[in-house]
Amino acid sequence: MIIYGIVMLNPAPEQPLDSETPVPALAFVPTEPHLKDAQAVGGKIPLDRFWERQKFPPWLMAILAMFLFFLLFNVLGAFFMLGSLLMQSNGNALDLTNVEKLLKQDVMGQLVGNTIGQFLGLGIPALLLARGHSSRWLDFLRIRSVDMTTVLWSVLGLVAIYPLIALSAELNALI
C-alpha cells in the first residue's frame, strides 16, 4: 500500500489476546505537577501558577527568594527605625557618629522597625511568592485552623510561665 509516497507493509492481522498474554502497562501518563499533602483537599496541592510554569530550579528559587526577602527586610526595618529616630529628635539634627547612643535611647523604635520589616519584608513577599506557585496557597503554606483547646492551653501556659520569666529577668539585672 502506498500513502503519500511512503511504502507501508501490511502488518500481520490482529489476533485477540488470550488471558495469558500480558497487557502492556502505560509507560507514562502526564499529570499536573503537585505536592503530596495528607491534610490538603484531595491529598494534593497543585503547582499550577507562574513560578511553576517557568521551570526554575527549586534551589535557585529558594536562594533568590531568601536573598531578596532578607535584603527587603533589612532595608525596610532600617528605614522605619530611622523614621522613629527622626520623630523623636523633634526636628533636631541626629548625631549619626554615635550610633550606639542612638540605638540605646530608642529601643521601642528598633522593635517597631523590626516588626514592620518582618511583616513587609518577609511576610507579605512570602505570601505573594506562595500565590505564584499554587492556586491553593493557604495549603501550600500549611496554614490551617487550630483546635481552640490547643490555643487555650497555649495561652494558659504563657500566662503561667510569665512570672518565672519576669523573675529571671530581675535576677539577671542584679548580676
Q: Assess contact for 53 and 132: CB atoms under 8 A.
A: no
Give the separation between CA 114 and CA 117, rounded to whole angstroms: 5
Q: Assess contact for 44 and 34: CB atoms under 8 A.
A: yes
Model confidence over 70-97: pLDDT tens digits? 999 999 888 888 888 888 777 777 777 7
- Percentage of the chain surpassing pLDDT 70? 83
Model confidence over 128-167: pLDDT tens digits? 999 998 899 999 888 888 899 999 999 999 999 999 999 9
Q: Which residues contact 148 (CB under 8 A, 6 or more apart)?
A: none
129-142 burial: b if 16+ Cβ within 10 Å, else e = bbbbbbebbebbbe
What end-to-end distance do the CA atoms of the chain give, in Å?
A: 100
Query: At 72, is the secondary structure helix, strand, or coil?
Result: helix
Q: Using pLDDT thresholds of 50, 70 and 90, give the confidence band for residue 2.
A: very low
* Higher-pLDDT residue of 129, 12: 129
pLDDT at 3 over 80: no
